[in-house]
Structure 1
Amino acid sequence: MRRRLSPTERFVWAAGEALPVNFALVARIRGRTTPNLLCEALSAARRRHPLLGARIGDPGRWQAWLTTRGTPEPQLRVVRATAGSRGASADGDEGAQGAGGAEGWTRVLEEELQRRFDTEAGPLARFVMVDHGDAFDLVAIYHHLVADGLSACFVLRDILRYLTAPEPLPVVRPLVAPPADDLLPGPRARLSDLRTVARQMREGGRPSRTGGQLAARTWSLAAWETSALVTRCRAEGTTLQAALNTAFARALADLGSAAPATIAVPADLRRTLSPSPGEALGLYATTLLNTVDGAALSTYWETARDAYADIRRRLRLEELLPFVRVYRLLPFLPRATVSKALWRSESEQARFDLSLSTMRPGIPSRYGPLCLEAVHCLAHTSLSGAPLITAIRKDGRLFFGAVSTDGQRTAELCAHAMSHLRQAVTAALWPSPSGGR
């Protein structure tokens, strides 16, 4: 594969020269495997998803190529778990306990999210296996240029399928789709796109909290808790995303934020693009900003319904397209200019108070003798200090991940948010939270 970077990809490439643009998908798998078998599964997954073996070729001031030629196999680092590094079960707060061991997945995540990719040498994905003997954690780290959270889930599924294949795998047809830019209706950027983007940019803007140490944490809600939450959302005429936005907006108010919360909401473009990229690895997402007043006098569910209405409006095609089309104007700027502007912007102010993404990948849990018990997504794509939070809904449960450079404040924020969420669902049936869950 060899093609020019699309305008969006060029922007992400330029961003990666100045900012972190990594994210990780971490999975706990019950069952045994070996590093050799896992390497074979990674090679098979690369044949199906060529972007697992991609790099930047012929980089220039104005343009570059995305190529798979001469790229080595995805790296696999093996870590032997030590006593105390395993963390809690999938029901608990893995992040807090995992950090206590010498090689828990939390330490691996914090190391890997900060380690930049060599974009010219490639590949732009790497993997770590934390071996517990009767179970293992698979940590997949991606440069955002080649993947989003949902497509990383599809790759995880394919790796586990290949890992448990009962016989040699047949030759697979590569699963490749054009970049999002090429699948958008309307080929040209417009001046109105710039006005739309500028208007939403003005809605955010908070002082940056830079300089802290990166901290990652993961936690989850039990199946009965998640079921109660989803049922209540449906009864109240809102969505899980809006309910979570409300919980975190109220948590920010608890911690002293007087202004309404500005929440970045990553939006999947797969249903918008034509034809849909389906399960191809790639970046098929954009971000919208949702404003939620956590200190409003309205009830929790009234605020959640307002948040849902705002998100639904911003998810309309005419609202989403400007945020992708506007990148088509950037080829007129040198890459270094874009990188410096992004670094300066991130250093001076945060566009949002927090980022909150939800995913429902719909991938199986059973793969022969292996069982996928938990899956978390964690991103490190900002220098502003704003926490980045992701919730994956799988097998009737919610799995959370959070990354920030202010670990203590983020831990308090998450604890307050989960408390508001539980109280809003039902105080009688849902016990008081403990341990930040």
Structure 2
Amino acid sequence: MNLDKQKSDCADIPGCVRRLSNGERLFLGSIQSNVAMAARIVGDVSEKYLLHAINAARRMHPLLGAKVIFDDQHDAWFSTDNVPETILRTVPRTSETQWVDEIQREHTMPFKLETGPLIRFVLVYSSQISELIEFSNHGICDGIALANLIRDILVFYAEPAKEIKVIEPPLSTGYLQRDEGPSSSKSIGEDAINNLNLQWRKSPHYFSQEDFIEIHKAYWEKMQHGIVLLQLDPEETSTLVAKCRENGVTVISATTAAFLAAYQDAIGPFPEDRSIVGIPYDLRRRLSENVGNAFCLFVGALLFPFAYDQKKSLWENCQEIHSIIQKDIEMLNTTSPEIGLFDPTLIDACFSFAPLMQFVPEAFKRTDNLSAFARDTKNIAFMLSDSRKNRAPAILNTNLGHLNYPETYGDLRLDRMLFVPPAVRLVPLILGGVGVSNRLVFSLNYIEQVKDNGPSPTENMIQIRNRALEYLGFPEKANDRAI
């Protein structure tokens, strides 16, 4: 559906941008689905000029200044009406790893979905080197959108008088006629979905901003987002790219295979029914129609069975993964094409609330909506949520690839980017990769309990990262540090 039709449908909603797709709505209410991008910048960053650049980017990209309005039918709409100013928090830079602490801090602060905005910025500042952090609700953007936004902000920083051209956020469903979301690898079928919707509508539950905030607080009081980095310098990046080309594969295929092998060495093999690989990919590069550098959620996602074969070499495993990925992406395959058929309010219940009922039961006593939902134990949303638990993939690997951005912006230099996708409890390996200024960085993301006397998962993740470096041909880079 085109944007003009979307806007006419929500003519009664002030500042309406468009309706949310079910894929966007799935991520909107999930407290585990925030995404971050950190850019390391060399030079003395002016907070005043940076805020001016961020506000210019906000005028360029409507979803930077959006909130969500739920109508009387519980449909969700992006709106820019009366949204508060963009937040830029500046803190002194005390170490090279402080940006991780700031991302962890941001995770503890819920977005107010019905107030907005749904993105915040942090400048970890020193006069020589700073990190600019974008921290966003995943419902309004993907990794490429965040990366492009860094570039846009730096361009406006260097050119304050640059003309601002609004880029409206398209719906991916308008191009694929399907909706994306992390569901099962098997199609459910339209008749089955219609039946699930009928069951849901007999006993529906509708959630509010207050409900979301209570779940968010309870979860992030217990948990913390952990990060381990694999960083390659320009020469090492060139070496890896050359090896991949020599073997007819891509970096994403190589890193997927290497981390699967490393996990198997460090922890043990995955159960047969969990040997699933998930690969999100950017639709902007794959469509024949140019949608521009739109800031929105505009991704496809592959989900396919694959078990690393230790009898074969790393590169043989890579070639098998590469063959599957290339074939599916060429066909624009994506997981859960049927998710758009679900009642959107069932999406809220199944993906955002039901999965956490056992984990944070205390939160479900804090509002009337949550309490009523918790008592309705035979609700179809709980059944659907339980059915997904054993079908989570072993690895989710998002590589944004090499981004051909300028390295200098006035008197600033972009040194590297660090992409931090969501960490999900049920997925053991979650990778986010991005290459700029000839540097490739992958983050390995995981969840750990804040107050836990048991062994920290960080040691295992460092061991997995080090073993992956060995598989990729860089054993000398193994170390005992996370960052």
Shorter-chain TM-score tier? 0.7 to 0.9
Instruction: Work out the CA distance in 2 between the residues paired with 1:188 and 1:420.
Output: 35
2:35–2:422 Cα contact (<8 Å) kept: yes
302-311 or 352-361: which moved more? 352-361
235-244 or 60-69: which moved more? 60-69
- Relative to structure 1, the CA distance from residue 356 to residue 262 in structure 2 (aligned partners, 3 Å threshold; closer, same or farther) is same
Among 409, 426, 436, the residue aligned to 2:457: 409
Cα displacement (A) at 1:290 = 4.1
Among 68, 74, 87, the residue aligned to 2:80: 68
Output the amino acid matched with 1:29: I
The aligned runs of 1:9-408 (5 Å cut-off) are 11-60=23-72, 62-81=74-93, 85-87=94-96, 98=97, 104-165=98-159, 168-184=160-176, 187=177, 196-197=186-187, 212-259=223-270, 261-273=275-287, 275-317=289-331, 319-320=333-334, 323=336, 325-331=337-343, 333-334=345-346, 336-338=348-350, 339-341=352-354, 343=356, 345=385, 348-349=389-390, 351-360=392-401, 361-380=403-422, 382-384=424-426, 386-406=428-448, 408=456
Give the alignment's TM-score, normalised by structure 1: 0.81
In the other structure, the counterpart of 1:207 is none
Structure 2: tracts of 5 or more residues without a match: 1-14, 190-219, 357-381, 450-455
SS of structure 2 residue aligned to 1:238? coil
CA deviation digits over 1:68-120, x for unaligned, max 9?
11112211111112xxx322xxxxxxxxxx2xxxxx11110111134321111
2:394–2:429 Cα contact (<8 Å) kept: yes
SS of structure 2 residue aligned to 1:72? coil
Instruction: Work out the CA distance in 2 between the residues paired with 1:237 and 1:316.
Output: 16
- Say how many residue pairs are matched: 395
CA deviation digits over 1:283-308, x for unaligned, max 9?
11132224443352011111111111
CA deviation digits over 1:120-148, x for unaligned, max 9?
11011110011112221111011111111
Kindly report the root-mean-square deviation, in angstroms, between the aligned alpha carbons of the 2 structures: 2.9
Output the amino acid matched with 1:403: N
Instruction: Work out the CA distance in 2 between the residues paired with 1:112 and 1:243.
Output: 32
Cα displacement (A) at 1:246 = 0.9
SS of structure 1 residue aligned to 2:311? coil
Instruction: Work out the CA distance in 2 between the residues paired with 1:388 and 1:403.
Output: 5
Cα displacement (A) at 1:385 = 5.4
Structure 1 position 433 matched with structure 2 position 433: no
- Relative to structure 1, the CA distance from residue 274 to residue 313 in structure 2 (aligned partners, 3 Å threshold; closer, same or farther) is closer
Output the amino acid matched with 1:351: A
Instruction: Work out the CA distance in 1 between the residues paired with 2:318 and 2:71.
Output: 46
SS of structure 1 residue aligned to 2:148? helix
1:161–1:367 Cα contact (<8 Å) kept: yes
2:38–2:132 Cα contact (<8 Å) kept: yes
1:290–1:307 Cα contact (<8 Å) kept: no
Instruction: Work out the CA distance in 2 between the residues paired with 1:78 and 1:432.
Output: 32
Output the amino acid matched with 1:364: P
1:251–1:413 Cα contact (<8 Å) kept: no
Instruction: Work out the CA distance in 2 between the residues paired with 1:397 and 1:170.
Output: 28
- Relative to structure 1, the CA distance from residue 336 to residue 159 in structure 2 (aligned partners, 3 Å threshold; closer, same or farther) is closer
Instruction: Work out the CA distance in 2 between the residues paired with 1:198 and 1:58.
Output: 27
In the other structure, the counterpart of 1:203 is none
Report percent identity of matched pairs: 24
Instruction: Work out the CA distance in 2 between the residues paired with 1:188 and 1:37.
Output: 41
1:180–1:273 Cα contact (<8 Å) kept: no
Output the amino acid matched with 1:373: D
Instruction: Work out the CA distance in 1 between the residues paired with 2:149 and 2:420.
Output: 16
In the other structure, the counterpart of 1:202 is none
Greater than 6 Å deviation, 4+ residue runs: none
- Relative to structure 1, the CA distance from residue 268 to residue 354 in structure 2 (aligned partners, 3 Å threshold; closer, same or farther) is same
Cα displacement (A) at 1:29 = 0.5
Instruction: Work out the CA distance in 2 between the residues paired with 1:171 and 1:387.
Output: 42
Output the amino acid matched with 1:289: L
Output the amino acid matched with 1:220: Q
2:416–2:437 Cα contact (<8 Å) kept: no
1:244–1:421 Cα contact (<8 Å) kept: no
2:17–2:62 Cα contact (<8 Å) kept: no
SS of structure 1 residue aligned to 2:140? coil
Structure 1: tracts of 5 or more residues without a match: 88-97, 99-103, 200-209
CA deviation digits over 1:236-287, x for unaligned, max 9?
1111111101111111111232236433211111134453322110111132
Give the alignment's TM-score, normalised by structure 2: 0.74
In the other structure, the counterpart of 1:90 is none
- Relative to structure 1, the CA distance from residue 300 to residue 219 in structure 2 (aligned partners, 3 Å threshold; closer, same or farther) is closer
- Relative to structure 1, the CA distance from residue 296 to residue 86 in structure 2 (aligned partners, 3 Å threshold; closer, same or farther) is same
SS of structure 1 residue aligned to 2:476? coil
SS of structure 2 residue aligned to 1:213? strand
2:466–2:479 Cα contact (<8 Å) kept: no
285-294 or 69-78: which moved more? 285-294
CA deviation digits over 1:352-381, x for unaligned, max 9?
123211113221211111001121010225
SS of structure 1 residue aligned to 2:110? coil
